[in-house]
């Protein structure tokens, strides 16, 4: 409330009143209260002798910001929620002389800016990857999620996705760095397990996928292919020396099985425990040993036949 007794010029009095309307609109808890304050603001501005010093567009900015906040709390596609909100509050838009087209345009702009901020965060991660040679956070998953949600939300806008090449190259850097670290630090026997080999193959396939998604030129693709080749050579160099050790250990366990089978009075329980160890070891290094579960079953059946035992394996 403007205090009485203070001598102010007409312009100062009017400016205080306008400021009160704006502040009240910004603090308002409901859209109706906000619209009433802004309507008073616009009425004052229109009747003012000093209208040139005011910005009537402030009313549109404040109201649409509040309406946008309400839209963001709704479930479902953003564009549909925006249309419902605009239709529901059309009388308030009319009161403030805001066209539905302007409201839709403003909402779309604000939504794009929101996605732009998320993409900027991805860009920061990409820059860190390029600078440090790899970090634990892969920006590709977050980037593709934003693209997918944005396309469903407000439609695809290719201008927003200028980061494609940088993001996918950063993803390649991260995968390579993690594989290099694993190869250098892991026990060679661990690297020869099926679990690791499957993981390694999946990582290489992701590098190839990112290479295609990055839309690289032929020289850049060739460079990535050479890096994959170097990585494979390093990987094999570490694993190859232990292949012979793995095969020898399997032969040792197999010979122990044969020894149990040839006993005059073979103990099935002793044999079964030994075969389980042989089976677990073989399946752990199945890709190196190239033995299938069917091969194991055949070995078991033959041993049981030799001992004249009932086959219990499933």
Report if residue 132 sits inside a domain: no
Report if residue 65 sits inside a domain: yes
Q: Which of 129, 215, 141 is nearest to 177 (CA)?
A: 129
- What range does the domain containing 70 cover? 10-106
Task: Give the DSSP H/E element, type plus range, for residue 7.
Answer: none
> Could you say which of 54, 88, 106 is where a domain stops?
106
Report if residue 273 sits inside a domain: yes
> Which residue has 């290479």 as its token pair?
211
Report if residue 281 sits inside a domain: yes
Report if residue 177 sits inside a domain: no
Supply the pLDDT for residue 143: 85
Query: Residues 248-304: pLDDT tens digits?
Result: 898 999 899 888 888 877 888 888 899 999 999 999 988 888 888 888 888 888 888
Residues 6+ apart with CB under 8 A from 313: 297, 300, 301
> Could you say which of 84, 106, 128 is where a domain stops?
106
Report if residue 21 sits inside a domain: yes
> Could you say which of 63, 85, 106 is where a domain stops?
106
How many separate domains does the chain show? 2
pLDDT beyond 50 at 157? yes
Distance CA 87, CA 239 (A): 66
Report if residue 41 sits inside a domain: yes
Q: Record the tokens describing residue 290, joined without a space.
A: 């190239």
Query: Residues 39-95: pLDDT tens digits?
Result: 999 999 888 888 778 888 889 999 999 999 888 888 777 888 888 999 999 999 999
* Residue pair 250/239 in contact by the 8 Å Cβ criterion: no
* Residue pair 175/207 in contact by the 8 Å Cβ criterion: yes
Report if residue 269 sits inside a domain: yes
> Among 23-37, 151-165, 178-192, which range has the highest average pLDDT?
23-37
């Amino acid at each position: 409330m403007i205090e009485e007794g203070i001598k102010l010029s007409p312009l100062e009095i009017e400016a205080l009143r306008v400021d009160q309307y704006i502040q009240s609109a910004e603090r308002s808890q409901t859209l109706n209260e906000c619209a009433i304050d802004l309507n008073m603001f616009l009425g004052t501005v229109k009747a003012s002798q000093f209208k040139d010093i005011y910005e009537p567009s402030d009313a549109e900015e404040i109201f649409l910001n509040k309406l946008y906040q309400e839209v963001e709390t709704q479930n479902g596609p953003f564009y549909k929620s925006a249309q419902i909100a605009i239709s529901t509050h059309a009388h308030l838009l009319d009161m403030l002389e805001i066209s539905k087209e302007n409201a839709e345009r403003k909402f779309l702009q604000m939504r794009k800016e929101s996605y732009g901020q998320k993409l900027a965060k991805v860009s920061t991660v990409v820059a860190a990857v390029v600078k440090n040679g790899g970090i634990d956070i892969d920006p590709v998953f977050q980037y593709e999620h934003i693209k997918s949600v944005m396309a469903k939300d407000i439609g695809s806008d290719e201008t927003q996705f200028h980061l494609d090449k940088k993001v996918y190259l950063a993803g390649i850097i991260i995968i390579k760095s993690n594989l290099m670290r694993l190869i250098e630090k892991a026990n060679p026997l661990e690297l020869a397990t099926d679990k690791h080999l499957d993981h390694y193959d999946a990582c290489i396939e992701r590098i190839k996928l990112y290479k295609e998604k990055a839309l690289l030129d032929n020289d850049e693709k060739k460079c990535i292919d050479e890096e994959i080749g170097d990585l494979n050579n390093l990987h094999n160099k570490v694993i190859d020396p232990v292949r012979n050790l793995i095969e020898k250990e399997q032969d040792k366990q197999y010979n122990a099985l044969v020894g149990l089978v040839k006993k005059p009075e073979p103990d099935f329980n002793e044999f079964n425990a030994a075969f389980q160890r042989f089976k677990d070891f073989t399946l752990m290094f199945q890709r190196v040993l190239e033995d299938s579960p069917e091969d194991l079953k055949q070995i078991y059946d033959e041993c049981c036949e030799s001992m004249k035992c009932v086959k219990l394996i499933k």
